[in-house]
Amino acid sequence: MTSVPAVLVLEDGTSWRGRAYGAVGSTVGEAVFSTGMTGYQETLTDPSYHRQVVVMTAPHIGNTGVNDEDNESSKIWVAGYVVRDPARRSSNWRAQRELPGELSAQGVVGISHVDTRAITRHLRERGAMRVGIFSGPDLPADDALLQQVRQAPEMSGASLADQVSTAERYVVPAVGDRRFTVAAIDLGIKAMTPHRMSQRGIETHVLPSTATLDDVLAANPDGVFFSNGPGDPSTMQEQIGLLKEVLDRRIPFFGICFGNQILGHALDLGTYKLGYGHRGINQPVMDRTTGRVEVTAHNHGFAVDAPRDGTFATPFGSAQVSHVCLNDDVVEGLNLVDGPAFSVQYHPEAAAGPHDAGYLFDRFADLMGEHSADAQKN
């Protein structure tokens, strides 16, 4: 098989040569790496990867093909894909198509046969940075390509949720009897999140990222949820304002990832950009409320800045850091002690990933149950 040449160019001028993988052409984005050994289809279709070029540290990608069941959204969102050694053909009973064909069909430019271990170490030492992948028979000189990379927008300051959110609201029904109704703000929601809620008797009303308080209240919700999503959380001023109104009304709240960062802002905490972020399905996190350690799925490049020890004052009462990452002490969860609100920076929906953190959806259901019991008492 003849291969088309490709080159990966980082904004610091470093470049790697390989072969075109998926669509032939060019793409730019933020270079990040994922340490997930499995679950590449869920990674590719996670809307939080919008505008990011993902380097897979697992060397062999494509082994299980792709199917119509494991998508986390309606399309592949990564801006580009970097793999070491693609499977020549898939071998899995659930495979319906081959990964390279799927990438090509969706116009996703990738590169293979590059040293993904070296690229990962480079990003780990120098931090996430802009990157381009360029493929074709006659590639321009690296200098010209570097200019294109340096013109790409930065991730800091990027407001991207509106680009990935649903245009229309939709409802994911509860499995069995409906116990609770949740209004979920879609900032780039993964399909598994309402699915996990439905398994707990929750009917989820998924609303566009531009939803107002009236839109939320129209669902008559027992709880409000803010999803994961791409971009810089400090740009989400409308959503931060909406969440403040939700907290003010003491409606039970749960947030995942971007939702955790937005809760941080609503509590007057800041967010900052991590050197290279956490992406993968093998990150150890401690739930400080129980002392239990869980292995969890992550995909974040920003984090909340909050005091680690004890409680701290917020406009909505005292709060605490509920979870921390055991690798680097990054804040992985917030808990409003004086109100019905909590969030985590990682992914209890576990798509892909271990199911250790599934209890958080039960915690949300319990919070809604307690709150409705309290409301009846008052």
Ligand X SMILES: NC(=O)CC[C@H](N)C(=O)O
Active site residue 349: yes
Task: Determine which one of 122, 205, 300, 347 is catalytic.
Answer: 347
In the complex, minimum distance from the CB of residue 107 to ligand X, in angstroms, rounded to a whole number = 23
Question: Based on CB atoms, which residue is closest to ligand X, 31 or 145?
Answer: 31
Active site residue 257: yes
Question: Based on CB atoms, which residue is closest to ligand X, 26 or 48?
Answer: 48
In the complex, minimum distance from the CB of residue 273 to ligand X, in angstroms, rounded to a whole number = 8
- Number of Cβ atoms within 10 Å of the Cβ of 213: 18
The answer to whether the annotation marks 302 as part of a ligand binding site is yes
Active site residue 347: yes
For 259-323, the DSSP string reads: HHHHHHHHTT-EEEEEEEEEEEEEEEEEETTTTEEEEEEEEEEEEEE--SSSEEEETTEEEEEEE
Q: Rounded CA gap, 160 and 149, in Å? A: 19
Residue type, 270: G
Task: Determine which one of 72, 102, 294, 349 is catalytic.
Answer: 349
The answer to whether the annotation marks 180 as part of a ligand binding site is no
The answer to whether the annotation marks 48 as part of a ligand binding site is yes
The answer to whether the annotation marks 258 as part of a ligand binding site is yes
Question: Based on CB atoms, which residue is closest to ligand X, 219 or 331?
Answer: 331
Write out the residues near ligand X by the rule CB under 6 A.
Answer: 48, 228-231, 257-258, 299-302
CA proximity to 262, closest of 337, 186, 194: 186
In the complex, minimum distance from the CB of residue 20 to ligand X, in angstroms, rounded to a whole number = 28
Task: Determine which one of 50, 102, 257, 265 is catalytic.
Answer: 257
Residue 234 DSSP SS3: helix
- Number of Cβ atoms within 10 Å of the Cβ of 199: 13
In the complex, minimum distance from the CB of residue 159 to ligand X, in angstroms, rounded to a whole number = 11
Question: Based on CB atoms, which residue is closest to ligand X, 211 or 256?
Answer: 256
Phi, psi at 360, each rounded to 5°: -70, -30
The answer to whether the annotation marks 299 as part of a ligand binding site is yes
Residue 342 DSSP SS3: strand
Element (H, E) at 38: none
Question: Based on CB atoms, which residue is closest to ligand X, 29 or 231?
Answer: 231
Q: Rounded CA gap, 187 and 191, in Å? A: 12
The C-alpha angle 299, 45, 208, rounded to 5 degrees, equals: 85
Question: Based on CB atoms, which residue is closest to ligand X, 160 or 219?
Answer: 160
The answer to whether the annotation marks 301 as part of a ligand binding site is yes
Q: Rounded CA gap, 267 and 336, in Å? A: 9
In the complex, minimum distance from the CB of residue 229 to ligand X, in angstroms, rounded to a whole number = 5
CA proximity to 345, closest of 266, 278, 290, 273: 278
In the complex, minimum distance from the CB of residue 337 to ligand X, in angstroms, rounded to a whole number = 24
Residue 31 DSSP SS3: strand
Write out the binding residues for L-glutamine.
48, 229, 231, 258, 261, 299, 301-302
- Active-site positions? 257, 347, 349
